[in-house]
Amino acid sequence: MLRIELKAAQSGQPGHGELTVHGWQEGSDALELTVQRNQDGRYLGESGEWDTSPSWHTLDGLNLVDEKLNGEVGPWLIDPLMLDPQMAYMLQLRNEDGSDKGVLRILGTILSSKAAGNSSHDEKKVERKAEPVIAPVVEPEPVPLPEPEAEPEPVELSLDEPLVAEPIAPPPPATVKNPSKLPLILIILLLVLALAAAAWWFLLRKPATEDTAATSSTTPAAGDAAVCSAQALSEGSEDLAFIQACLKSNPSSEQVLEMIAAAKEAKRCGVVQRLYAHKAQSGDAAVAYAYAREYDPQHHTSGGCIEAADGETAAYWYEIAVNNDPGNQDASQRLEELKK
């Protein structure tokens, strides 16, 4: 079974990713690829749609070094996968020498080509640089200088007439007003009101604050449990909206497995598949172990959301469970047996 990983391209260009296939031994010539999603078993078609029959896509530009294929893939593969990156996908490779398959593991965040704004097939527009426009220099009009004021004519003083100084009137006496007591009264009233308000807040509001804190401490937990419950599942008609709300509440492994059981009873297989895939891919060992048993030929139950047993898919999820919980002896044993 192959170990297949997909991450964002080193160039960072939206719609492009780096595909790495570990364990391929059949050469890099004339490679073809088919993609199947586990929600409904459909295959990626030539135009990016999902069909009931497999379509083989030519895989160019991959280099093989020490049983590891590596190369860049474009929007034909990235865009359909990024519509639902939490879905589990099975990829199968083949050429004239042989074929093999494995479950795709998406690493990190990968952007679709739509994030670039324009398709890579759009015509390139030639931008013409506008020539700088030089504005004419307008010289300011001369401002006429003000005419100098005429100097006052000197006053001729006669030596025969005595100089008499005009008496200067004394300033009027300042009127002393009695200070008003109104501002002082207002300040005293404000201080009394402030002290009364402080006493009311500390003495009367304290019990109510404690009750509010106790109520608020229990409200978020109840709200989180409500969005990820069997009742919320029965009331919600859209799978994706329910899954997003449930996962946003950060449920535990036990809560997720309980919701999966409720979704099975309600025949909501889309919820079952997506909850399994999201939590298992994020490293939840308990959910990955349960998902592996769904595919394990030794534990598979017909008539459920997993239509058929698949030992390779079971081994993939067992491996994630063991990597995150090395103490799971049953997962380790089944993984070894399935790889034989």
- 202: pLDDT strictly greater than 50: yes
- 211: pLDDT strictly greater than 70: no
Residue 259's CB is within 10 A of a number of other CB atoms, namely 23
Percentage above 70 pLDDT, the chain: 72
Q: Please give the Cα distance from 299 to 292 (Å, whole number).
A: 9
**Average pLDDT score, the chain:** 77
215-272 pLDDT per residue, tens: 344 334 434 458 888 888 888 778 888 888 899 889 999 999 999 999 999 999 989 8
Q: Which of the four pLDDT bands, split at 50, 70 and 90, describes residue 158?
A: very low
Closest CA to 308 of 73, 126, 38, 112: 38
Domains and CATH numbers, the chain: 3-112 (2.60.40), 230-339 (1.25.40)
pLDDT of residue 121: 40
Q: What is the mean pLDDT of residues 306-332?
A: 92
Q: Contact 309/297 with Cβ under 8 angstroms?
A: yes
Q: Which two tokens stand for residue 101?
A: 């398959």
The single residue listed with the structure tokens 């639902």 is: 84
- 285: pLDDT strictly greater than 60: yes
Q: What is the mean pLDDT of residues 272-294?
A: 91
The single residue listed with the structure tokens 């009367």 is: 204
CA 150 to chain centre: 81
Q: Which of the four pLDDT bands, split at 50, 70 and 90, describes residue 172?
A: low
Q: Which two tokens stand for residue 38?
A: 């586990």
DSSP per-residue letters across 5-56: EEEE-TT--TT-EEEEEES--S-SSSEEEEEEETTT--EE-TTS-EESS---
Q: Which two tokens stand for residue 3?
A: 């170990």
Q: Which of the four pLDDT bands, split at 50, 70 and 90, describes residue 180?
A: low
pLDDT of residue 163: 44
Q: Helix, strand, coil proportions of the chain in percent (round to 5)? A: 40, 15, 45
pLDDT of residue 140: 52
Q: What are phi and psi of 36, to 5 degrees?
A: -125, 130
Choose between 190 and 322: higher pLDDT.
322
pLDDT of residue 57: 93
Rounded to the nearest 10°, the torsion over CA 120, 126, 127, 129 is 150
Look up residue 164 and give its DSSP letter: -
43-98 pLDDT per residue, tens: 999 888 888 888 999 988 888 888 888 999 999 999 998 887 777 888 989 988 88
- 129: pLDDT strictly greater than 70: no
Look up residue 119 and give its DSSP letter: -
- Amino acid symbol at 73: V
- Amino acid symbol at 285: A
Strand bridging mode 57-59 / 31-37: antiparallel
Q: Which residues contact 130 (CB under 8 A, 6 or more apart)?
A: none
Q: What are phi and psi of 20, to 5 degrees?
A: -125, 125
CA torsion through residues 121, 71, 324, 274, sign: positive
Q: Contact 310/324 with Cβ under 8 angstroms?
A: no
Choose between 138 and 260: higher pLDDT.
260
pLDDT of residue 334: 93
Q: Please give the Cα distance from 292 to 332 (Å, whole number).
A: 12
Choose between 125 and 156: higher pLDDT.
156
Closest CA to 322 of 330, 314, 331, 313: 331
pLDDT of residue 254: 93
Choose between 10 and 140: higher pLDDT.
10
